[in-house]
Amino acid sequence: MPRAPSCPVCKAPAAAEYKPFCSRGCRDRDLLKWLGEDYRVPGPPADLPTEKDDD
């Protein structure tokens, strides 16, 4: 028998309205982690564009 999905933030049972989260609070907390760059995809550093003088 498959297990009910759990919230990735607090491990409580997921609510259909906020799936895969259990509540709006956990959904918002996860979004803030993305926006604050707490989550990162591993890989080499990105090359940043160099500034060029338009003189």
pLDDT digits (tens, 9 = 90+) for 1-55: 777 789 999 999 999 999 999 999 999 999 999 999 888 888 887 787 777 755 5
pLDDT for the residue numbered 53:
58
In the chain the domains, ranked by start, together with CATH numbers, are 1-40 (3.30.50.10)
Cβ(28)–Cβ(9) under 8 Å?
A: no
pLDDT for the residue numbered 46:
77
Cβ(7)–Cβ(21) under 8 Å?
A: yes
pLDDT for the residue numbered 41:
80
Compute the distance between CA of residue 26 and CA of residue 16 in angstroms, rounded to an integer.
Answer: 13
pLDDT for the residue numbered 55:
52
Q: Is the pTM of this model over 0.85?
A: no
